[in-house]
Structure 1
């Protein structure tokens, strides 16, 4: 299921599609605080949540079903826990001067209304699409083969690979936040570009959009 796709209306400008968790909004840090409030903690032993969340009392790993329930409980309460990275708002504002922006969030669509309220509350009113399906076909549908530049930003290598497979000539940016668990994150393969933060991502996007308009 994909929520929000039909409501997106693009203009005759480049398209920038942004992942949300740990790209626009912080996820790992507030999720760790959320877990501690429930008597658990996240051990950064690999780039996975399942198998790495343990009880503070017993140090034993929680069953996968319980971890999935905690993730959904966090999404349900996200408005009380998540906030944008310090450079997000300025970057989105700068990019929006030259391009259409769509937020593409990998979460159960039933929590999309909460994410919409959260983004609106911090001044990020761009369209939101929520899905648990692969991101490549979604970005392909959004872009629709238009002869305009398109860019995609995500912190997950497999999402970047999916979009790269489905959308030709897409600028692919791998933006990984600084955290212990992200040290284990797989790195995307070229032509994906690794960027450290929003200011660096903004520079790449502006160059890509300018080159596309000039060609």
Structure 2
């Protein structure tokens, strides 16, 4: 069971309208595809043997798998340089821009908080200037704290099953959408519950969100 929220969300002010909470990596910004290119530039490669990075990031020089600490260092280095690497998904800027006329949008990214400023700059530059929370904590309690006791529609979009299940456990009325790219790592990822709608892109996700927040 997810632990109680410790992340401060008090600076986010929601209006009297629906709420859309959206993951960032591989939902709004491409992560895994540019990360593979980044790894190659560092002299490493990812072997798609299981759904995890540790044990599957290999040194091209030695053929050995990198230790967890080194994999973590590479991920942090990528997040440090994310403004040079990450690009937006097709249609995400226009789609969220359209929804922002009728709903509040909050980005909830599973990323070490020390890289918040880099992500903030990147999102702003792309025209995605919505409030941003960066946390490695479970997402369910965070969405619950944001939405509170409101009876207005709420939607949550993420590429990972455990995040969707976490939100489902804490916000019963929330529309959940499993939006994910067709990448080698996502093909090996644990599947979301069968009753959670799947979307391959924002063109598929948008009608589901629109029906929920306007219905």
Output the TM-score relative to the length of structure 2. Answer: 0.94
Distance in 2 between the 1:44 and 1:17 partners? 30
Q: Which residue of 2 aligns with 1:2?
A: 7
SS in 2 for 1:54: strand
Q: 3-state SS of the aligned residue for 2:45? A: strand
Q: Is the 8 A contact 1:2 1:130 kept in 2?
A: no
User: Which one of the candidate residues 142, 145, 150 is aligned to 1:141?
Assistant: 145
Please list every run of at least 4 consecutive aligned residues from structure 1 whose deviation after the TM superposition is greater than 6 angstroms: none
Provide the rounded CA distance (Å) in 1 between the counterparts of 2:149 and 2:25. Answer: 27
Distance in 2 separating the partners of 1:181 and 1:61: 17
Instruction: Look up the match of 1:54.
Output: 58
Residues 1:77 and 2:81 aligned together:
yes
Which of 16, 29, 41 aligns to 2:33? It is 29
**Unpaired segments ≥5 residues, structure 1:** none
Q: Which moves more between the two structures, 85-94 or 61-70?
A: 85-94
| Residues 172, 191 of structure 1: 8 Å contact kept | no
Task: Tell me which residue corresponds to 1:193.
Answer: 197
Query: What is the 5 A alignment of 1:147-162?
Result: 147-162=151-166
Give 1:202 shift.
0.9
**SS at 2:157's partner residue?**
strand
Q: How many positions carry a matched residue from both structures?
A: 210
Tell me how far 1:44 sits from its aligned partner.
Answer: 1.6
SS in 1 for 2:49: coil
Superposition deviation, residue 97 in structure 1: 2.0
- Residue from 111, 117, 131 that aligns with 2:115: 111
